[in-house]
Structure 1
Amino acid sequence: MRQLLDRLTLREKIGQLNQRLPGWDALRVNGSRLEVTDALRREVDRFGGIGSLYGLQRADPWSGRHWGNGIPPERSAEAAALVQAYVVGHSSSGLPTLFVEEAPHGLQGLGGQVLPVNLAVGATWDDDLVAELAALVAAQLRGRGIHVALLSGLDLLRDPRWGRAEECFSEDPYLAARLAAATVTAMQGTGTRIDDTHVAVVVKHLAAQGAGIGGRNGSGAPLGWRELHEIHLPAARAAARAGVAGYMAAYNDVDGVACSANRDLLTGVLRENWCWEGIVMADCTALDRLLDAAPDHAHAGALALRAGVDVSFWDQAYVVLDEALDRGLIEMADIDRACARVLGLKQRLGLLDHQTMDDETSFGTEASTGSESRAGDDALAHRQAHRLAHQLARESIVLLSNAGVLPLAAGQRLAVVGPNADDLAAQLGDYTAPRPVPDPDSSTVRSALLELGFAVSYAAGSKLRERLPGGLDAVRAAVDAADVAVVVVGGSSRRLYESEFAENGAVAGADLGMTSGEGVDLSRVAIDPVQIEVARAAREAGRPVVGVVIGGRPHSVTEFAGFCDALIFSAFPGPTGGDALADILTGVESPSGRLPVTLPGGEGVWPVAHDERRETSRGYADASYTDNVLLGTGLSYSTFEACVLKASAEPGLRAEVHVRVRNTGGRAARFVVPLFGRRHVLGIRPRVRQVVGHAAVRLEAGAERDVVFRLGAAQLGTVSARGLLEATPGHLDVWVSGDLHPPTDAVRIEVLP
């Protein structure tokens, strides 16, 4: 590697650290031909190569790519090979580029597998299923010639007003860490080498972006070191242990220091404390935003490079690293260190296999011809992924209340009403490529219930934040003709091709059709008043009402719930969401999802996370936390009992907790068992509770099973000032009920240093 690095010129090294060209501008679809563009030619000439290329296959309103002008899935590998061949053949360095794509819940490219969003994934509490799907997604990406997947998963949802809530697994660090580690391991594989069925993962965002002031995207996170390490870094630490290839530095600052210029975070924590080796990528245009703390681009680039950022993302700051070097702001060793990390990732992916230290010409381009056998494999993988995505969507559905209305009975006449009752786009979430039309793999609540043979009358009633002329009259007429009303409300991250976008792709303008997504932070999170009017109209018709909330954030459902005899929460469940919801509504499957976040009881009652520190304050004089719907809430069509039988501890921060689970109901069902805990250490105010373990069991009616939870340093340790877990005398109370505080049958574990 040293010989390879030494033969590169300064210009070529800087080229390896830059990711400047929008990938969709690198290739043009010209009838049946794929052609490289002049923009690609200029970029290769400018830096003697391209280190990374973001978004070659991205399709969405921001990129302007769709089924009419984007790269079709059957030609995606060909497109990547064509660009790679040009980069390798026409650059002075001869180095291949890294193809980087968004994959927060499946590939954001035409025909890419689309999964439920992370908030839905968190509701499954099923890391095994998540891993199985993630492996299929990784194979699809690599088959298309993609090397690096940008994956959300590090952000902890600490404020429901934040528009990117859907990208978070949970508000709880334990649950987020489990799911992040499972996803990284499945997508990258377990070895140091990343083979041709896996991709390198860059997880985002580091760190504390979910704790922005006021729930505003990219705002500061005014946190102390303990809060940072206990809440916002466990998922990142779990990814490091799983061997993650890279991290993306967040936009926000932590206590005034921007994450992309935070040496304590990017070098001190990642590389020195955690002994992690990999690349750090800046978020899109984040380095140029450092100009509010630096006099010019050269200083901004120097701040980021010396902090530990290896790859820039559409910034001017890394274009002028040669200027920063000339001015003494950085040293050549800083550039070499970052460049070596980029080359190390290419080596880990096998991109340098055909390169010897004294041969400058031969690199693989991973060309693929799309043979018949490959097409058959792709079809099989697609069917398997579709089946698992449907299972994931089904497991993510949370039944919050049920007064005996569910499951629906065969032969009932249904009124399916509300703005999200028949709107596929409202199920998909942000960072989603356009679906094909027609789309045989997709379903809405209305279409799925029709497919099951129900007589369905339909009325949207309203838009998400706008009334429809005659909408409420149409709702009343539909419900009058039905036995049960299914009212489907919530939100949407739908982007439009005519929308206004910021330079980093976030939504910039107001759009009444969007209530979630990057750039869509809200001051209020209750179900919109115009949707409440739809629920009221359905209730006034005198029929039982089943409420379904499809959304991308923890909505306040208190008012809406007052009109419902049963209530379901479904974070954006993806294209199979309609079928999944129909399975739950009709009793094909018993609901097993549990909230991965707390739903606020009303507006302005912040914070709401279940694991906040205990307070001496009595709270607000005009509002209460009692209406909050806690993390872990979720009902079944059966009934279950769970209790802690015993717990034992050993020195070295190890303990075992034995829990017995019994199905006391009349049908087989899956049941998620969260293990809650409260850690007590002298002199440190405890948290109300935290998740310290979880398991899922499927039991027949009347059956029981014992589950063993094995706890370690993450649950029993205390965070030191350096962010390391250490043994400190104290105890941990554990329980399995949904109580916010330890019940009388909680079991105490003494921590043995």
Structure 2
Amino acid sequence: MVNDLQVLLQKMTLDEKISQLLQLAGHFFDGTHGEITGPMASLGITEETVRDTGSVLGVTGAQDVITLQRAHLERNRLGIPLLFMADIIHGYRTIFPIPLAMGCSWDLQLAERSAEVAAKEAAVSGVHVTFAPMVDLVRDPRWGRVMESTGEDTYLNSEFAKAFVRGFQGTDDLQDPLRVAACVKHFAAYGAAEAGRDYNTVDMSERQLREFYLPAYRAALEEGCEMVMTSFNTIDGIPASGNRWLMRKLLREEWGFNGVVISDWGAVKEMIPHGVAADEAEAARKAIIAGLDIEMMTSCYPKHLKGLVESGEISEALIDEAVLRILTLKQKLGLFENPYRGADVELERAVVYSAEHRQAARDAAAASCVLLKNEGVLPLRKDSRIALIGPFGRSGDLLGAWCWRGVHDDAVQLYDGMAAKLPAGLLTAAEGCGVEAPATEAQLAEALEAARTADVIVLALGESASMSGEACSRADIRLPQAQLDLLAKLKPLGKPIAVVLFNGRPLDLHGVIDEADAVLEAWFPGSEGGAALADLLFGDVSPTGRLTMSFPYAVGQVPVYYNAYNTGRPNVPTAPDHYVSKYLDIPNEPLLPFGFGLSYTSFAYSEAALSGGTMTPDQPLTVSVRVTNNGSAAGVETVQLYVRDMAGDVVRPVKELKAFRKAALEPGESEVVRFTLSEEQLRYYHADLTHASDAGSFRVYIGPNSRDVIELSFELAK
């Protein structure tokens, strides 16, 4: 089949080849008839370029895709089918919790299932490729796109990257027409933007890049991910979309990736304002030399590559290799045999937003919420009089920023979820205030009256979806003042208050966690959010979520993360000193640590042990601990294993997550949880960028989160 593609390539004119390297948005085509409609003038391209373009962004719906593909094949001289790509981030029509929430489930099977459902709905609707998963490691909650990440830990992000790729693509090399090709993003280190400001500069050492930021991308590729999307930011002073070291040297030569690389929207032309290209021609030259195959929604390639070939500035072979990669993906998806792969109007009606898929979304939402505080308020009694107050009580804004085909009006609201579990008359709702707009006199009066007649207040607060996501960085990551004021006015009534938070990032929770009696972090929980939250609030499901990003004590700490380096003058609270690394006005530690989360029961850790005091490369150690449910309800504990290298070739983090296990325990039940820790897990990048371990002393930490741990020690002998 590869030979067939070589023959096809030889038949293509240079113009046809270059057009394959262009991705256009769906508004260039009429969805009803598949006709070319523009706006070509804005990009400076011709109808011939559009006719021969290789892929389309953002067109979906089985009939529209079939119509557009049919019209395209009639126009295209060689009958080369289009690739249809889209942003299917955490669900297609059935919306799952945002990826940051899915990370907090610590459930890889659940993550894989969520991607499988999204793939099936997208595939029957005509999509071939999804721009997911996003695996960027993030340590700064000011950055709006933290909601697309699974958090601050390299190991956990890598495991979720693999799970999402399996879910989207399946395990049979894309033979299943109800799967889609995955495109890992954003390569590379997009989540390290300075000051948490989207699209901003990234600057770090190669060692840090390899140690923390690159592993999750590589994990996705090792799982078979078909595509890579470059990031908007610079790497070592060069924008990713024109970074030869990043794409040629690292991605293709070192890692052996031979799939398709695509830019993010407009990123090739953005090399001009970045200051590394004088004009579009130079941007096109740098991108194609660096190894970028598809230019998304700018026209540097179609306008300038031909001239660059004719002038001898670039070789046509560069274009040929990019085209061949694109044709290979189309072949792998079976588009030459069936250009309408997956698209099925009847199946679309049956599959999309089905009851089965909505149940999967409900399960995922319940597993993703994190109980941050509970002073005996939760679970709620089903015979209590409850006042549901706040701007999110009767809101459908539960889907998050990347819910492209999701319908807010169809999302299960918190009020509806709670009302379904209570006798009539026990639940009263009042908005209280807007998301950002202060309470009016009437709103406040209604909220206070509802609260006075209730046994308990459930306060639904948070960010609107438009306050997180792309281009939604925030310097102040507290709740809007209007909502803090509402809580402050309800507090004097003396009623128990349980806050449910809807948000896309870790927040500064002062004014909430210190005032409320319970706090449940719901994130943006998706289509079935209200139903899942009601399951949790009333105890029909026990909370199991654990944070995968630290919640800062104050924004001035940011970035604050669990696996930081120590300093030569560490702050030791038990031996206070002025001349140490500390703040004068706040703690060094986050308000809530990585891995933190409460349950409706309690767990005790005991009998922590190592199988020996010395590890060798051929002899791993077993780490064990007894976990006991010493509460009155069944629960699931996520047991976490961390390691520290006490003296490395370079400074090592104070803790690094190496493994985790879930233990489901009935009241009074205990289980010995065991981990195997090997020498391979102790390796890291040394000063010379070799990847190896150090002989010497190590500490093991085991517990329910990164802060509250039991400590053991061992030696590595080599």
Using the size of structure 1 for normalisation, the TM-score is: 0.87
What amino acid is aligned across from residue 472 of structure 1 in structure 2? L
- Cα shift at 1:723: 5.8
| Aligned residue pairs, count | 690
| CA–CA distance in structure 2, aligned partners of residues 27 and 635 of structure 1 | 52
- Cα shift at 1:438: 5.7
> What is residue 341 of structure 2 aligned with on the other side?
366
| CA–CA distance in structure 1, aligned partners of residues 624 and 58 of structure 2 | 48
> What is residue 397 of structure 1 aligned with on the other side?
369
What SS does the corresponding residue of 2:556 show, helix, strand or coil? coil
| Residues 273 and 606 of structure 1, relative CA distance in 2, 3 Å threshold | same
What amino acid is aligned across from residue 629 of structure 1 in structure 2? L
> What is residue 55 of structure 2 aligned with on the other side?
52
Instruction: Confirm or deny that 1:338 pairs with 2:322.
Output: yes
The answer to whether the 8 A contact 1:162-1:521 is kept is yes
What amino acid is aligned across from residue 90 of structure 2 in structure 1? H
> What is residue 479 of structure 1 aligned with on the other side?
451
Instruction: Confirm or deny that 1:417 pairs with 2:389.
Output: yes
| Residues 157 and 417 of structure 1, relative CA distance in 2, 3 Å threshold | same
- Cα shift at 1:488: 1.4
- Pairing partner for 1:257 from 222, 238, 241: 238
Instruction: Confirm or deny that 1:170 pairs with 2:151.
Output: yes
What amino acid is aligned across from residue 417 of structure 1 in structure 2? I
Deviations 1:159-218 (A, max 9, x none): 111111111111111111111111101211223344312111011111111111110001
| Residues 18 and 739 of structure 1, relative CA distance in 2, 3 Å threshold | closer
- Cα shift at 1:558: 2.4
> What is residue 618 of structure 1 aligned with on the other side?
581
What SS does the corresponding residue of 2:522 show, helix, strand or coil? strand
| Residues 242 and 299 of structure 1, relative CA distance in 2, 3 Å threshold | same
> What is residue 645 of structure 1 aligned with on the other side?
609
Q: Which aligned pairs between 1:236-635 and structure 2 lie closer than 5 A?
A: 236-291=217-272, 292-319=275-302, 320-352=304-336, 354=337, 364-366=339-341, 370-371=345-346, 374=347, 378=351, 382-425=354-397, 427-433=398-404, 435-436=406-407, 439=410, 442-453=411-422, 455-470=426-441, 471-493=443-465, 514-615=466-567, 616=569, 617-626=580-589, 628-635=591-598
What SS does the corresponding residue of 1:239 show, helix, strand or coil? helix
- Cα shift at 1:327: 3.4
| Residues 472 and 597 of structure 1, relative CA distance in 2, 3 Å threshold | same
> What is residue 87 of structure 1 aligned with on the other side?
72
Deviations 1:719-742 (A, max 9, x none): 256866334434542222256569
What amino acid is aligned across from residue 630 of structure 1 in structure 2? P
Using the size of structure 2 for normalisation, the TM-score is: 0.91
> What is residue 576 of structure 2 aligned with on the other side?
none
Pairwise CA RMSD of aligned residues? 2.4
What amino acid is aligned across from residue 127 of structure 2 in structure 1? I
- Pairing partner for 2:13 from 9, 14, 17: 9
What amino acid is aligned across from residue 254 of structure 2 in structure 1? N
What amino acid is aligned across from residue 156 of structure 1 in structure 2? L
- Cα shift at 1:259: 1.1
What SS does the corresponding residue of 1:536 show, helix, strand or coil? helix
The answer to whether the 8 A contact 1:660-1:705 is kept is yes
The answer to whether the 8 A contact 1:28-1:37 is kept is no
| CA–CA distance in structure 2, aligned partners of residues 376 and 747 of structure 1 | 56
Instruction: Confirm or deny that 1:146 pairs with 2:127.
Output: yes
> What is residue 674 of structure 1 aligned with on the other side?
640
- Cα shift at 1:565: 0.9
What amino acid is aligned across from residue 299 of structure 2 in structure 1? Q
| CA–CA distance in structure 2, aligned partners of residues 307 and 729 of structure 1 | 39
The answer to whether the 8 A contact 1:646-1:659 is kept is no
- Cα shift at 1:293: 1.1
- Pairing partner for 2:85 from 86, 100, 116: 100
| CA–CA distance in structure 2, aligned partners of residues 139 and 78 of structure 1 | 16
What SS does the corresponding residue of 2:459 show, helix, strand or coil? strand
Unaligned runs of 5+ in 1: 58-75, 355-362, 494-513
- Cα shift at 1:714: 6.7
Q: Return 695-704 or 213-222, whichever deviates more.
A: 695-704
- Cα shift at 1:278: 0.9
> What is residue 574 of structure 2 aligned with on the other side?
none
Q: Return 306-315 or 77-86, whichever deviates more.
A: 77-86
What amino acid is aligned across from residue 609 of structure 1 in structure 2? Y
What SS does the corresponding residue of 1:306 show, helix, strand or coil? helix
Q: Return 130-139 or 185-194, whichever deviates more.
A: 185-194
| CA–CA distance in structure 2, aligned partners of residues 460 and 662 of structure 1 | 42
> What is residue 73 of structure 1 aligned with on the other side?
none
- Cα shift at 1:537: 1.3
What amino acid is aligned across from residue 351 of structure 2 in structure 1? D
What amino acid is aligned across from residue 447 of structure 1 in structure 2? D
| CA–CA distance in structure 1, aligned partners of residues 31 and 669 of structure 2 | 60
| CA–CA distance in structure 1, aligned partners of residues 246 and 311 of structure 2 | 26
Deviations 1:299-334 (A, max 9, x none): 111111111211110112212211222333321121
| CA–CA distance in structure 1, aligned partners of residues 623 and 598 of structure 2 | 24
- Pairing partner for 1:180 from 161, 185, 206: 161
Instruction: Confirm or deny that 1:747 pairs with 2:712.
Output: yes
| CA–CA distance in structure 1, aligned partners of residues 687 and 67 of structure 2 | 51
What amino acid is aligned across from residue 6 of structure 2 in structure 1? R
